[in-house]
Amino acid sequence: QVQLVESGGGSVQAGGSLRLSCVASGYIYSDYCMGWFRQAPGKEREGIAAISVGGGRTHYADSVKGRFTISRDNTKNTLRLQMNILEPEDTAVYYCAKSKFISCDGWGPADFDYWGQGTQVTVSS
């Protein structure tokens, strides 16, 4: 069965960095767009980044553009999110997700069918 397991969350001060990882199993990882989402208390789940099957095309939410970098290693079935210049507003549970599709043309939550368990990121001011 499909499994997505995130790691790398934690607590950091504003301006700091964290790197999240997600290891996928149970399907052909290189055949699907992948994404990172986050959900803060009382807010809807928000798509923050997505990456094409080969890694050559990426998409970012305006709120993280220039600070976060999504990448993937298809040899290790691994998805990563490098987060720099973190802000208190970045505090949320972060999820990796597998798209239903090869393409990332649509990367809202409804375009993804499997989710990791989530990892907490807390940024203090």
Q: How far apart are CA 53 and CA 13, in angstroms?
A: 33
Asked whether the beta carbons of 97 and 20 are under 8 A apart, the reply is: no
Q: What is the pLDDT of residue 91?
A: 98
Q: How far apart are CA 1 and CA 94, in angstroms?
A: 22
Using CA atoms in the order 15, 19, 20, 24, what is the torsion angle rounded to 10 degrees? 160
Q: What is the pLDDT of residue 95?
A: 98
If you search the block for the tokens 């990172």, which residue do you land on?
A: 36
Q: What is the pLDDT of residue 121?
A: 98
Q: What is the pLDDT of residue 8?
A: 96
Instruction: Pick out the chain residues at pLDDT < 70.
Output: none
Q: What is the pLDDT of residue 97?
A: 98
Q: How far apart are CA 23 and CA 29, in angstroms?
A: 10
Q: What is the pLDDT of residue 34?
A: 98
Q: What is the pLDDT of residue 85?
A: 98
